[in-house]
Amino acid sequence: MARLFAFLRAINVGGHTVSMGRLQQVCTQLGCAGAETFLASGNVIFTSRSAGGAALEKRLATGLEAALGFPVDVFLRTPAELAALAGPHPFSAADEAEAHALFVGLLHAAPAAAAVDRIMTLRSATDDFHLRGRELWWLRRTQESAGKLVNGTFEKALGASATFRNVTTLRRLAARYGVGGA
C-alpha cells in the first residue's frame, strides 16, 4: 500500500464548507485507507493499492463531487514528490526571507510552452514565478489583500485547474508524516 497526499481544490473556500470529519469519512468511503486530514484546507493523507496517477485523481474527484454536491479537483502527490515540494525551491533564501509568502500551485500535468509564457507575463515587482514539472512556484512580495492575482488568474493563463498551498503548510505536512526534505 502506497501513502499518498491529496490536495483538494474548492474545500472551505467560496462557500464550499466541509468539516474535516466529513471529508475524512467521504474519502474513506471512496477507498482511501486510513484517511486523515491536515488543516481545514483540503489536505488528505491516505494509503492506496494504487500508486496514484490521473485515474485515481479522476475517481476521487468524481466521488467527492457526488458526495459533497460541488466539483472538487484532486491533485495527488507521492511522499517523494511532497519531499521535493518541502525541500529546496527555485527562489533564493534571500528572496524567500523578503517575501510575504511563497506558494506552490499544484497542477495535473506540466503546462505547455504557451501556458508557461502566459504565466510569465504575470511577473511583476511584487510577484515572481517558476514552473517546475507539475508545480508553479509563486513568490509574493505583498500581502494577499494588496495583490491582484488569484487562483482563477493562474487557471486562465494555464488553461487548466490548479490548487495552491503555502510552502509552510507543505513543510509542516512533510514533517508530520516523516517525509524527507522537511
Same domain, 67 and 108: no
Please give the pLDDT value at position 1: 86
Average pLDDT across the chain, whole number: 92
Q: What CATH code is carried by the domain that includes residue 99?
A: 3.30.70
Residue 18 C-alpha cell reads as: 466541509
Mean pLDDT of 52-60: 92
- Give domain status of residue 181, yes or no: no
User: Which of 48-57, 66-75, 138-147, 148-157 has the lowest average pLDDT?
Assistant: 138-147
How many domains does the structure of the chain reveal? 2
Split at pLDDT 50, 70, 90, the class of 182 is very low
What are the distances in angstroms from CA 44 to CA 3, 59, 84, 123, 130? Answer: 11, 15, 18, 31, 26
Higher-confidence position of 88 and 136 = 136
pLDDT tens track for 4-24: 999 999 898 888 899 999 999
Q: Are residues 53 and 105 both part of a single domain?
A: no
End residue of a domain, out of 48, 79, 110: 79
Residues 62 and 93 in one domain: no
Please state the separation of Cα 99 from the chain's center in Å. 20
Q: What is the pLDDT of residue 154?
A: 94
Confidence label for 61 from pLDDT (cuts 50, 70 and 90) = very high
Q: Both 105 and 121 in a single domain? A: yes
Q: Which of 79, 104, 133 is the last residue of a domain?
A: 79
The answer as to whether 73 is a domain residue is yes
Residue 181 has pLDDT above 70, yes or no: no
Prediction pTM value:
0.93
In this structure, the answer to whether residues 66 and 93 fall within a common structural domain is: no
DSSP string, 41-106: SSEEEEEESS---HHHHHHHHHHHHHHHSS--EEEEE-HHHHHHHHS--SS-HHHHHHSSEEEEEE
**Same domain, yes or no: 55 and 112:** no
- What DSSP state is assigned to residue 9? E
**For the chain, first and last CA: distance in Å?**
23
My answer on whether 94 and 53 are in the same domain is no
* 26 shares a domain with 46: yes
Q: Is the domain of 97 the same as that of 163?
A: yes
Full domain range(s) for residue 107: 86-176
13-17, 29-33, 62-66, 169-173, range with the lowest pLDDT: 13-17
Q: Are residues 73 and 123 in the same domain?
A: no
Tell me, yes or no, whether 91 and 37 share the same domain: no
What CATH number did the domain enclosing 72 receive? 3.30.70.1280
Distances (CA, A) of 1 to 4, 29, 78: 9, 17, 12
93 and 110 part of one domain: yes
Looking at 21, 51, 79, which one is the last position of a domain? 79
Mind listing the pLDDT tens digit for each residue in 117-171? 999 999 999 999 999 999 999 999 987 767 788 888 999 999 999 999 999 999 9
